[in-house]
Amino acid sequence: MLGLASFLAGHILYIVGFMKDRKLVEPTENQFVSKSSVMAWTGVIGVYAICIFSYLLPFLGEMALPVLLYVSAISVMLWAAIRRPNHLLNYKVIIIGALFFIVSDTILAISIFKGYFPYASIFVMTTYGLAQLFIASGYAAGDKRIQ
């Protein structure tokens, strides 16, 4: 439970950071993903969240609410990454990192609640490391604009 809470806190901090990136542009600039793309991504992320939670629900027991909160947080984290200004060089790199987090957390949840499968820990740690690498290197690149 403490591990889940600490990772939840980390994702919340990523959400806050990604949302602050939206303030890098002037309100008059139209440098964000189009509304139709946001709606499509919102739908895809929502379907993911519903599917993974529904799949795990029979195995969760008293962990159902904490896992629901966590699935919601990682979904919002990806959504917030997509909502960042898309004219920044690090835009796609950070989205790839957020997607790797989704993959890592999904594999971890399945292996914990449904049952261990071969090499789960290798897949979890590899995708987790890639998530951190992409997000950190994206931010290390700074907020340079695409010319």
Of 50 and 140, the structure prediction assigns the larger pLDDT to 50
Cα separation of the two ends of the chain: 46
With a pLDDT cut of 70, the percent of the chain lying above it is: 86
Mean pLDDT of 115-142: 90
pLDDT of residue 106: 95
pLDDT of residue 29: 55
Q: Which of 1, 46, 29 is nearest to 145 (CA)?
A: 29
DSSP at 96:
H
pLDDT of residue 132: 93
Q: How confident is the model at residue 129 (pLDDT cuts 50, 70, 90)?
A: very high
Q: Output the CA torsion sign for 31, 35, 39, 44.
A: negative
Q: 121-132 burial, b if ≥16 CB within 10 A, otherwise e? A: eebbeebbebbe
DSSP at 144:
P
